[in-house]
Structures are given as C-alpha cells and as structure tokens.
Amino acid sequence: MAVPSAKAGGDVLVIDDDAILRDLVADWLLAAGYKVRKAANCQAALQAIEEHAPALIVSDMFMPGACGATAIAQLKRYAPAALLIAVSGYFKSGSGVSADEALSAGAARALAKPVRRAQLLTAVSELIGPPD
C-alpha cells in the first residue's frame, strides 16, 4: 500500500540492523541539522513510512528479511517520492546486490561501507538539500 505523498520536511529515515551503525549515521545527520528517524529492519521502516513519508531513506542493503533490490522496491512502493541511498559492505565483494544493481532498482546513490561522514552528508545534501 503506497502512502500518499506528504511534505517530508527534509527528514531522513535510517534503516540498519546494526544498532551501532544505525545510531552513528543518525548522529551524523542530526549533527548536520536533519530530522532523523531510525528503523532496525524493513518491516519497522514500512511502519515508520506509513506514519510519515520521509524525504530520504538511507538503508543498509544486507539485513534479515527483505534486503537488496527487493527492499528498495518495497520501500519505493510505500514512499514513491522518497529518494534512497543504498549502503552496503558487500557492494565490492561480489556477493549480494551490487552498487549498480541498487541504482538500477531505484536507489539514487549507492555507498560502500565503511561510509565516511563527509561522503554521506554530501550525498544527502545533493539529494534533498540543506536541513530545514
């Protein structure tokens, strides 16, 4: 079920099953002035999207449950206007979804872990602009 487009207010939804990485990315974004929500998996993310569609989703691509291109398709179905940054430690490994496959599936950017703070903040700013 797709959520109607709503003014996202520049908020970012961070999805990662690794609590440390999820909190780290959220902290970077919060320190830069963005509004941030967090989810531990795609199911929790879909619930968060139903409450309020984000402007941007930053999602790990290798998690329990839906992951990779399947996760991108599912997230885009629920939040069609949201841009998505796919993040994975497996992009360069030859296993799982590749960066090119993530982009083909609908991600606006694909960043390989370990993601650098400046790299992430540049991508976010380029995609949704500066924080409100």
Question: Could you tell me the CATH number of the domain that includes residue 21?
Answer: 3.40.50.2300
Q: Is there a domain that residue 4 lies in?
A: no
Q: Which domain holds residue 45?
A: 12-126
Question: pLDDT class for 66, splitting at 50, 70, 90?
Answer: low
Long-range contacts for 108-116 (Cβ within 8 Å, ≥24 apart)?
108/83, 108/84, 109/84, 109/85, 110/85, 110/86, 111/85, 111/86, 111/87, 112/87, 112/88, 113/21, 113/87, 113/88, 113/89, 114/89, 115/25, 115/87
Q: So what's the pLDDT on residue 70? A: 84
Mean pLDDT of 25-30: 98
Full-model pTM: 0.88
Inter-residue contact 35 to 12 (CB < 8 Å): yes
Per-residue model confidence (pLDDT) at position 65:
72
74 located within any domain: yes
Provide, rounded to the nearest whole percent, the portion of the chain with pLDDT above 70.
88
> What is the number of domains present in the chain?
1
